[in-house]
Amino acid sequence: MGGRFALTLRPVSPDDVEPLRAFLVEADLTLAGLDAPTVRLWIDRDHEGRVIGSTGYEASGNGEHVLIRSVAVAPHDRGSGAGTRLARFAIDQAIAAGARRAWLFSRRSGPFWQTLGFAPAERDALAAALADTHQVRLFRETGQLAAEVGWSRALAE
């Protein structure tokens, strides 16, 4: 397992938002809604305070669906299981909160999500189930939705 990657995740606090934003820019991920109360985010920092991992989700209004988002590992720590642990953490939190289906957008990391049980999903079904989330609203407004790739998996047994 990754040497310095401790996976000491804690909920993102107001002081974390700017460093997290810079980390997600580096990872080329969406920044919409980082400080919104409906977006649940967790962060890991190394002993020098640098962000080394993040994970999170945003739920639909009825809590049944979640959009997994902001799953990222610092470049030097990739390839040794950290991403899997971060993704599983968000999934476990969503299950604990009562969600029944997880969805996400990923253009480049589909094979990674397939190892976690995700299968290709209808983009429009995702956008309908999670219409109020920041990512879906942003992608609709910018026209980016048509270029996105959706993934989904059931969370219930």
Ligand X SMILES: CC(C)(COP(=O)(O)OP(=O)(O)OC[C@H]1O[C@@H](n2cnc3c(N)ncnc32)[C@H](O)[C@@H]1OP(=O)(O)O)[C@@H](O)C(=O)NCCC(=O)NCCS
Residue numbers at the binding site for ligand X (CB under 6 A): 27, 29, 69, 71-73, 78-84, 104, 106, 108-109, 111-112, 115
CB of 148 to ligand X, least distance (A): 11
Task: Assign 104 to helix, strand or coil.
Answer: strand
Give the Cα separation of 90 and 66 in Å (integer). Answer: 10
Q: Which lies closer to ligand X via its Cβ, residue 16 or residue 44?
A: 44
CB of residue 114 vs ligand X: minimum separation in angstroms? 8
DSSP codes, 12-79: PPGGGHHHHHHHHHHTT---TTTT-TTEEEEEEE-TTS-EEEEEEEEE-TTSSEEEEEEEEE-GGGTT
Residue nearer to ligand X on the CB measure, 68 or 157? 68
Please, what is the minimum distance in Å from the beta carbon of residue 24 to ligand X? 8
- CB of residue 67 vs ligand X: minimum separation in angstroms? 10
Give the residue with the Cβ less far from ligand X, 107 or 157: 107
